[in-house]
Structure 1
Amino acid sequence: MKPLQKLYHLLEAKEFQIRMEGVALLLDLSKSRPQLISTNITQIFDYFDLRLCDTHKRVKEKALDVLAEIIGLLEDALSPVIIRLVEGITKNLNSKDPGVRAAAVRALEGSIAHLDKVSLMKELSNQRKQLSGEALLVVTECITVLVEWVYARSPEVVERYALPVLWSFLENKALPVRSASVRTVATKLALALYEVMGTKLKKCAASKPPRVQENLSKILGC
């Protein structure tokens, strides 16, 4: 357990340079001793997820970059911490620091590639309620990417978690963000849902306010 004790000590250090050493050590251990990290992932995240919202932008950016790498290394072993993982990433999507924001996007892309897509759609949908601006658009685009894969395996998950995202855009509750961007993102999501659901999407919209039905008809061209 000595490597873990050292890891925890570094991750909670006062000096930001030492915290960065802790983040680097986590990556090294994930490569050299993945079983050790996987077995203790919940406890490790008690320390590591604090670095995802670190007060020092260099630590935060490094933590997000390391997260993007370990997602590819550990994959399903991260399932117990997927809620905190998604929360840590999405909180940084609106960062004013371009390096932090870009690192968050890379971690999100890694999540889509390597984590359970059904669980990921659920958590992204849940986190979306707390987001605004560009972060909202980025997360919605990720949900759109997941629609086809998830619907083929768990259509009820798409209907429960992706449809409300579309309704919020069509009701114009997703603002404030650039209107052109909103229209583009909403259109992509609507078309992705229509591709897998067909006319069922229109039937689901029938119980929604007229504004939603009108906007959906404009997107679908019918």
Structure 2
Amino acid sequence: MDCELEVTVKLLLKKAGDSNSFIRQDADKTRLDVKLSHCTPSRCLHALLAGGLNDRNKAVRNCTAQHVADLVTKIGAARIVSGAKDITDNLIPAIGKLAQDASPEARLFGRQMLLFLSAEPKFNKVLDKYLTTKELATIKKIVNTLRTKGLNNEPVNPRSAIGQRPQPGNGTQKGPSLNRDHYSSRAQTQSVADKNHYIEQLSGLMGSKDFKDRIQGINQIVADSQNDPNVFDALSARLTESNSKVNLHTLMVLPEIICALEENMAQVVNTLVPAIVDSHLNSKNKPIYCAAVRAIDALISNLDNTHLLQLFCNKAMFLNGKAKADLIDKVAAIVTNIGYRKPQMVKQRALPLLWHLLGISTHSSSTHNLCNALYNEMGSELAECAMSQPLNIRQTLNKILSSLP
């Protein structure tokens, strides 16, 4: 089988860079693994490096780096640095190149292999022998940094370095691109080369065709939200997808995320609130409706309400049904929360909603609640502001105000 290996591996590596996730996964996780398992390590290395090391597609280089790392573990550090024929002379320059790759994932695999080999006494001699003078200085600097700070700025045991490697995040894999059993946020964040690569992996889970993988991604966001608000970006789409199980799970974990992020949530409320309100606040599914209400309440409890007032007022103006009444009540609560310190903001943003409600609705309890909240903050100024409104609005307002205790 060795004679046909190079051609076959090159073809499968190309498939690993395919835009179709099913083809990519099949090539990488099934066919290529099987092919490599039936050939000698030296032939496998030669085929992988010839077929994928210099490819322009980063997905191909990532796949190549992963399988090379597997072979390095299989061959063993001692054999590699001993100068094994057809292995060391090809492998050391390749690892040095991967350790500097533009792709974070390929770069991480390369550096893991360097760290793994660096425990061997002959490691420096091997570098001196097989790297050019220019490459040598760069790689030694990388190795020194890895020895002192580890792969993710923490000291690490060189012998366990390759055991830390992540799986490539393609979005459909069943294997743990992020740990499926533990959601330890700090450990998971440190298991990838950098933040951008981590978010790319997480987005792969969140975009998976398997709803269980999407739920896993949601749980990962819950764990990691305490460390990095940017991981929240992938969540909003899960609120608007068609699978109600994913919707419910997302809504149920939102209060925990919101509590962890607090004011950092301000940067995503313009996306999050419509996803909750438009899709779920009128839901006939009681668990989903209740979870949506709890998520809105969590926003009010944990954020400066000035970030929410305009958004809630706009939504309340155009919603229908129970969602409209619920959001009017939330606006009334916000008016009470911030009216004493932001009176001008309350006038500018809440009064247009009140005039709208008085002009179209019956004396609903929610409209009464908003009138009451505004009157408590503004007093007689509320009636004065209404003087510029049509007669029917002034009459309705006066009727409500006269009924207040």
TM-score bracket for this pair, using the shorter chain length: 0.7 to 0.9
Q: 1:190 aligns with which of 368, 371, 377?
A: 371
Task: Name segments (4+ residues, structure 1) moved above 4 Å.
Answer: none
Q: What is the identity, as a one-letter code, of the residue corresponding to 1:190?
A: C
* Structure 1 CA distance for aligned equivalents of residues 208 and 272 of structure 2: 21
* Structure 2 contact 252–295 (Cα < 8 Å) conserved: yes
What pairs with 1:143-162 in structure 2 (closer than 5 Å)?
A: 143-162=331-350
Matched, 1:134 2:322: yes
* Structure 2 contact 236–272 (Cα < 8 Å) conserved: yes
* Structure 1 CA distance for aligned equivalents of residues 297 and 238 of structure 2: 19
Q: Which residue of 2 aligns with 1:88?
A: 275
Q: Which residue of 2 aligns with 1:166?
A: 354
* RCO comparison, higher one (Cα < 8 Å, 6+): 1
Alignment deviations for residues 144-164 of structure 1 (CA, whole Å, 9 cap, x no partner): 011122211211211111111
Identity of aligned residues (%): 31
* Structure 2 contact 317–356 (Cα < 8 Å) conserved: no
Give the C-alpha shift of residue 3 in structure 1.
4.0
Q: 1:24 aligns with which of 199, 219, 234?
A: 219
Give the C-alpha shift of residue 87 in structure 1.
1.1
* Structure 2 CA distance for aligned equivalents of residues 16 and 127 of structure 1: 29
TM-score, length of structure 2 as denominator length: 0.49
Matched, 1:207 2:394: no
Q: What is the identity, as a one-letter code, of the residue corresponding to 2:211?
A: F
Give the C-alpha shift of residue 84 in structure 1.
0.7
Q: Which residue of 2 aligns with 1:98?
A: 286
Q: Which residue of 2 aligns with 1:8?
A: 203
- The structure number with the bigger radius of gyration is 2
Q: Which residue of 2 aligns with 1:73?
A: 260
Give the C-alpha shift of residue 6 in structure 1.
2.9
Q: What is the identity, as a one-letter code, of the residue corresponding to 2:246?
A: V
Give the C-alpha shift of residue 128 in structure 1.
2.1
Alignment deviations for residues 73-122 of structure 1 (CA, whole Å, 9 cap, x no partner): 11011111111111112111011221211111010010110012011111
* Structure 1 CA distance for aligned equivalents of residues 316 and 370 of structure 2: 14
Q: Give ranges in structure 1 of 5+ residues lacking alignment.
A: none
* Structure 2 CA distance for aligned equivalents of residues 123 and 51 of structure 1: 21
* Structure 1 CA distance for aligned equivalents of residues 283 and 211 of structure 2: 19
Q: What is the identity, as a one-letter code, of the residue corresponding to 1:64?
A: L
Q: 2:239 aligns with which of 52, 62, 66?
A: 52
Q: What is the identity, as a one-letter code, of the residue corresponding to 1:171?
A: G
Alignment deviations for residues 34-62 of structure 1 (CA, whole Å, 9 cap, x no partner): 22x22x25xx41x2110011210010111
Q: What is the identity, as a one-letter code, of the residue corresponding to 2:321?
A: G
Give the C-alpha shift of residue 4 in structure 1.
2.7
* Number of aligned residues: 207
* Structure 2 contact 205–216 (Cα < 8 Å) conserved: yes
Q: What is the identity, as a one-letter code, of the residue corresponding to 1:82?
A: V
Alignment deviations for residues 20-47 of structure 1 (CA, whole Å, 9 cap, x no partner): 11111111222xxx22x22x25xx41x2
* Structure 1 CA distance for aligned equivalents of residues 244 and 317 of structure 2: 25
TM-score, length of structure 1 as denominator length: 0.88
Give the C-alpha shift of residue 189 in structure 1.
0.8
Q: Give ranges in structure 2 of 5+ residues lacking alignment.
A: 1-194
How big is the alpha-carbon RMSD for the aligned residues of Structure 1 and Structure 2?
Answer: 1.6
Matched, 1:117 2:305: yes
Alignment deviations for residues 156-197 of structure 1 (CA, whole Å, 9 cap, x no partner): 21111111121112112x5xxxx5xx5211111101101110
Task: Select between 92-101 and 110-119 the one with higher mean Cα deviation.
Answer: 92-101
Task: Select between 147-156 and 70-79 the one with higher mean Cα deviation.
Answer: 147-156
